[in-house]
């Protein structure tokens, strides 16, 4: 009897012939050697650029689509063992793999009409010990260190418990820029991964908000918070205020909406909610976080978005909703005057393993400092407005002290940098648990 077609074979490169494997190896080696590979990550999905990309990669369109399919979410990537035997190094395989991961990400973002496209891809090794400054204050020059030295020595600590770690002033570490593995300038968009493990280190998205009036509105809301909220890091020369849900005192966990007003005349109307000014700020700051969260979900790396949703479900974390006073957040576009509504599911929620910050406004430029460091990897991210930065909470990180003379002034005339940071307090899940046990819901 004639045999039937039998069980269909799973499509993929695992059983390819040796000549096909050699061709695939040559493609990997060539693509990985391209000095301007990053240029094609955001363009390769676009119909107008596929021919140019294929010519540069020295592959046919069919080979391009095959590679893109292999490294898609449901794809079947080639076995690294076979390619290693054909002369492809682990590093070359990793570069090509993540290149097509990024191409697929850019394709998805284009379909969603996202404002940001992934333009560059980077793998970074662990940094040298000179950059990993543990319990040290980072600054960019000896001159800046010397100017700050007197202020650090003479300024009284806000907490009399001098042995408490978060209230100590730490020695200065002047960064040797030649030791940096990466210096991310303005306008750059990067997703950074560990070369050995492929694990996400962090990401940088620049010029994320395209409408300048929207960005100005966000910055004005943040500036109002800086003027009216009490700083929770009094030993810092700047100001760090808390908004949203908090876990309460360390010895009495209690879920509540944060209301830490500063002293002084500027904060006075907010303390007494004169003409509803505090309620207005609550709605505005919740809208700022909601807008930032939507941008993150639509453009962020999949690990961060997955972590974002996991943290919500695991701990039943509440959203930024003005202490449940907002069924939805309605935001009016300052350019078109058209309303846009964020429903409850779109409101900002805390993150788990990752922290995300967004700088809404800055003044001073690169020479003034205030740059962000992921120290373990020797990465510096230059300060600038309209910039979203994400990193793992466990990685050693910090911001360098600015080059200013007006020490202790929270609003120096020649420098400022403000924005928000979205993070989950480690004490918040316990406070939520206590609240649920007592009231039945968070």
pTM of the model: 0.62
pLDDT of residue 104: 74
pLDDT of residue 4: 45
How far apart CA 218 and CA 212 sit, in angstroms, is 10
pLDDT of residue 333: 52
Kindly report, residue by residue over 327-365, the tens digit of the pLDDT.
454 555 544 555 555 443 344 444 557 889 999 999 888
Q: What is the CATH number of domain 138-439?
A: 3.60.130
In this prediction, residues 408-419 reach a mean pLDDT of 74
How far apart CA 251 and CA 146 sit, in angstroms, is 40
pLDDT of residue 121: 41
In this prediction, residues 411-417 reach a mean pLDDT of 77
C-beta of residue 390 within 8 angstroms of C-beta of residue 300: yes
- Give the pair of three-digit tokens for residue 371: 């740059």
Kindly report, residue by residue over 357-407, the tens digit of the pLDDT.
999 999 888 888 889 988 878 889 999 999 999 998 777 888 888 887 766
Nearest to 400 by CA among 374, 370, 377, 380: 370
Q: Residue 436 pairs with which residues in a beta bridge?
A: none
Please spell the DSSP secondary structure of 119-169, one letter per residue: -EEEEEPPPPTTT--TT-EEES-HHHHHHHHHHHHHSPPSSS-TTSGGGPP
C-beta of residue 127 within 8 angstroms of C-beta of residue 179: yes
In this prediction, residues 16-24 reach a mean pLDDT of 76
How far CA 57 is from CA of 26, 37, 41, in Å, comes to 11, 9, 12
In this prediction, residues 263-289 reach a mean pLDDT of 82
Say whether pLDDT at 166 is over 50: no
Within the chain, which residue ranges are assigned CATH 3.60.130? 138-439
Say whether pLDDT at 2 is over 90: no
- Mean pLDDT score of the chain: 72
Say whether pLDDT at 40 is over 60: no
Pairing of strands 372-374, 137-139: unpaired
């Amino acid at each position: 009897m004639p045999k039937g077609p039998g069980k269909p074979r799973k499509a993929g490169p695992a059983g390819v012939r040796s000549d096909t494997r050699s061709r695939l190896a040559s493609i990997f080696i060539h693509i990985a050697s391209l000095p301007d590979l990053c240029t094609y990550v955001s363009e390769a999905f676009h119909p107008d650029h596929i021919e140019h990309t294929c010519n540069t990669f020295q592959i046919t369109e069919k080979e391009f689509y095959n590679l893109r399919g292999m490294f898609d979410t449901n794809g079947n990537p080639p076995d690294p063992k076979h390619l290693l035997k054909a002369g492809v190094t682990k590093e070359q395989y990793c570069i090509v793999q993540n290149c097509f991961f990024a191409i697929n990400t850019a394709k998805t973002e284009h379909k969603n009409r996202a404002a940001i496209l992934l333009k560059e891809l980077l793998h970074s090794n662990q940094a040298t010990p000179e950059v990993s400054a543990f319990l040290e204050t980072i600054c960019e020059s000896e001159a800046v260190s010397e100017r700050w030295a007197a202020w650090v020595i003479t300024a009284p600590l806000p907490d009399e418990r001098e042995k408490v770690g978060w209230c100590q002033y730490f020695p200065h570490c002047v960064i040797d820029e030649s030791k940096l593995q990466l210096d991310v300038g303005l306008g750059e968009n990067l997703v950074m991964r560990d070369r050995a493990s492929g694990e996400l280190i962090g990401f940088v998205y620049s010029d994320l908000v395209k409408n300048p009036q929207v960005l100005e509105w966000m910055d004005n809301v943040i500036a109002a918070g800086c003027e009216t909220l009490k700083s929770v890091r009094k030993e810092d020369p700047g100001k760090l205020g808390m908004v949203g849900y908090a876990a309460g005192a360390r010895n009495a966990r209690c879920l509540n909406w944060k209301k830490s007003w500063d002293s002084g005349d500027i904060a006075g109307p907010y303390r007494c909610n004169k003409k509803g000014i505090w309620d207005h700020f609550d709605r505005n700051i919740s809208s700022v976080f909601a807008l930032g969260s939507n941008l993150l979900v639509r453009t962020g790396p999949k690990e961060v978005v997955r972590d974002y949703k996991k943290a919500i479900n695991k701990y039943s974390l509440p959203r930024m909703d003005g202490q449940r006073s907002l069924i939805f957040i309605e935001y009016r576009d300052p350019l078109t005057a058209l309303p846009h509504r964020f429903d409850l599911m779109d409101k900002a929620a805390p993150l788990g393993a990752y922290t995300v910050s967004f700088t809404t406004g800055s003044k001073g430029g690169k020479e003034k400092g205030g740059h962000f460091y992921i120290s373990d990897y020797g990465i510096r991210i230059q300060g600038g407005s309209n910039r979203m930065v994400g990193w793992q909470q466990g990685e050693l990180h910090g911001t360098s002290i600015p080059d200013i003379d007006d020490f202790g002034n929270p609003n120096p005339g020649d420098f400022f940098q403000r924005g928000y940071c979205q993070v989950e307090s480690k004490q918040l899940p316990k406070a939520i648990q206590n609240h649920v046990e007592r009231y039945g819901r968070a």
